A and B are shown apart, each in its own frame.
Chain A
Amino acid sequence: MVIKVLGPGCTKCHETEKIVREVVAEASSNASVEKVSDFQEIAKLGVFSTPAVVVDGVVKCVGKVPSKNDVKSWITA
């Protein structure tokens, strides 16, 4: 599983990445977590605003910091 946290790098993006990494660790998941700041790559995914989270190529949330429960549901689905 590949999880991408999209954003230019600011408080909410860092918070999102932190939450994602925490949930992955707590779930003992093998998922890789990658931070994407490149505008072109973000735009290609159809993301309107950041932070955004993509799991295995599927955009899961846009423009907000997800809750831990949200992230858990995405990686255990």
Chain B
Amino acid sequence: MSGSCCGDKKEVMILACSGGSNVGQLTNQAAVELTREGFGKMFCLAGIGGGLKGFIQSAQDTPQVIVLDGCQVGCAKAILDREGIALKSYVVVTDLGIDKVKDRQLSRDEDALARVKLAGKAAAAWSDDATQSSCCGG
């Protein structure tokens, strides 16, 4: 749960697929590190996926949600779609040129991790700009 209650800062929710592959675990690690850096706070995709109403309501009510999927299977996206939660900031790790491999060692790749984190921040910034600025000079 977010620690700040009454500040003006909008809390950024980070949802990672945390899937059973190198790219899935990259999303998890990115979510952990983005949380440590204070960029946002990782939240329970499993709770949303399990249909737990409080978790679903939290995702629906949080204006800024970053969703990190490891690959095109798009499990996190599918969960949000099922619950009618809009996908505004979305990153697919394999779309960043990072291959999904069958290496069960799941060794840490700092370069790949940095790219995922950067993509997450960029997606959030783009989504924030899109909701704040008008497009056609209005």
Listed in ascending order, the chain A residues whose CB lies under 8 Å from chain B are 7-8, 10-13, 39, 42-43, 45-51, 54, 58-64
B58 CB, nearest partner CB in chain A, Å: 4
> Cβ of B5 and Cβ of A48 under 8 Å apart?
no
Instruction: Flag if A12 contacts B53 (CB, 8 Å).
Output: no
B71 → chain A closest CB, angstroms: 26
Q: Please name 15 pairs of A and B residues whose Cβ atoms are closer than 8 Å in the assembled complex, sorted by A.
A: A8-B5, A10-B6, A12-B5, A43-B1, A45-B54, A46-B52, A46-B55, A48-B13, A48-B58, A48-B59, A59-B57, A59-B58, A62-B61, A63-B11, A64-B61
Give the number of chain B interface residues (Cβ < 8 Å).
22
Nearest B residue to A9, CB-CB = B5
Whether the Cβ atoms of A62 and B58 lie closer than 8 Å is: yes
Chain B residues close to A by CB (< 8 Å): 1-2, 4-6, 11, 13, 41, 43-44, 47, 52-62
Inter-chain contact B6/A48, CB cutoff 8 Å: no
**Given the interface contacts A46-B47, A46-B55, A48-B13, does A62 sit within 8 Å of B62 by beta carbon?**
yes
Q: Which residue of A lies closest to B11 (CB)?
A: A49
Query: B57 to A62, Cβ gap below 8 A?
Result: yes
A46-B54, A48-B62, A49-B2 known; 4 other A-B pairs, CB under 8 Å? Answer: A48-B59, A50-B1, A61-B57, A63-B2
